[in-house]
Amino acid sequence: MIIAEQKPFERIVEMTAKARNILVAGCGTCVTVCLAGGAKEVAVVASKLRLAAQNAGRKITVTEATIERQCENEFVEKLAPALKGVDTVVSLACGIGVQFLAEAFQNLPILPGVNTRFLGAPSKQGTWQEKCMACGDCRLDKTAGVCPMARCSKNLLNGPCGGSANGKCEVNPQKIECAWQLIIDRMEKLGRLDELEAITPPNDWSTAHDGGVRETASEQAVPAKTEAMKSV
């Protein structure tokens, strides 16, 4: 899922300095699970905003609304009634949700209340770790299910750099595991260590962001009618 964390509160205050009627909008999917932007966090941010305004002697209205997903039209439509009288929206969804709202509600400022960090999963209670960088050509079959792109700090494809020590990555030996140590350990367990002797050629980055902004289409999404007509 997408992992986000709340922005420093001062930044949110700064962004909303001119707002009179704020809606704090949460998202019920990824950011709820990673405790950054679900209904609970919405309530906290909203009450902190009210308090901050009160302390500054400003009169503002802060309302709250959390929808299932901020990145899909059928859910975003449901936000419309909550927007009456609102002059500013602070979205606690990931950057995708923020942009989606901005597209849907052209005349309203939609401000980001969280920092979208990465694609990841929990590593332990309350801690999340990056697992994938959406390179566009998944190679997990070749690396025993451990991603060298996102989980090696140098996205190396031919084995560990000289800084791998005691299973940790040189970039942050206290926290980050060396992806290549993990790959080698797992390949060994699977009896496939010899496969790592082959040289992986230079990567094709055109499937990643380096190829420009990406778009993808699903054939399944093609209307059934068209499919039926094809077979006629």
Partner 1 sequence: MTIESNLERVLQAGKFAVTGELGPPRGADVEVIKKKAQLLKGHVDAVNVTDNQTAIVRMSSVAACALLSQLGLDPVLQMVCRDRNRIALQSDLFGAYALGIRNVLCLTGDHQKFGDHPTAKNVFDLDSIQLIQTVKRLRDEKKMLGGSDVQGEFKMLIGAAENPFGDPFKFRVTRLAKKVAAGVQFLQTQCIFNLPKFKEWMKMVCDRGLHEKVAIFGGVTPIKSAGMAKYMKNSVAGMDVPDEIIKRVAGVPKGKASEEGVKIAVETIQQLKETPGVRGIHMMAIEWEEMVPKILQQAGLSPRP
Distance CA 133, CA 117 (A): 11
Query: Minimum Å distance from CB 140 to ligand SF4?
Result: 5
The option from partner 1, ligand SF4, none interacting with 110 (CB < 5 to 8 A, set by class) reads none
155-194 positions binding partner 1, by CB under 8 A? 155-167, 170-171, 178, 180-181, 184-185
Distance CA 75, CA 107 (A): 19
Structure tokens at 168: 């940790």
Distance CA 39, CA 27 (A): 7
Does residue 196 belong to the site contacting partner 1 (CB under 8 A)?
Answer: yes
Query: Minimum Å distance from CB 124 to partner 1?
Result: 23
Are 45 and 90 contacting, i.e. CB atoms less than 8 angstroms apart?
yes
133-172 positions binding ligand SF4, by CB under 6 A? 133-135, 138-140, 147, 149-150, 152-154, 156, 160-161, 163-164, 169-171
Site track 97-136 with partner 1 (rule: CB under 8 A), x = hit: ----------------------------------------
Does residue 179 belong to the site contacting ligand SF4 (CB under 6 A)?
Answer: yes
Distance CA 208, CA 65 (A): 35
Name all contacts of 207-216 with Cβ < 8 Å and 24+ positions apart. Answer: 207/135, 207/136, 207/137, 208/133, 208/134, 208/135, 208/136, 208/137, 209/134, 211/136, 214/136
Structure tokens at 49: 């905003």
The residues of the shown chain that bind ligand SF4, judged by CB under 6 A, are 132-135, 138-140, 147, 149-150, 152-154, 156, 160-161, 163-164, 169-171, 178-180
The residues of the shown chain that bind partner 1, judged by CB under 8 A, are 153-167, 170-171, 178, 180-181, 184-185, 196-197, 199-203, 205
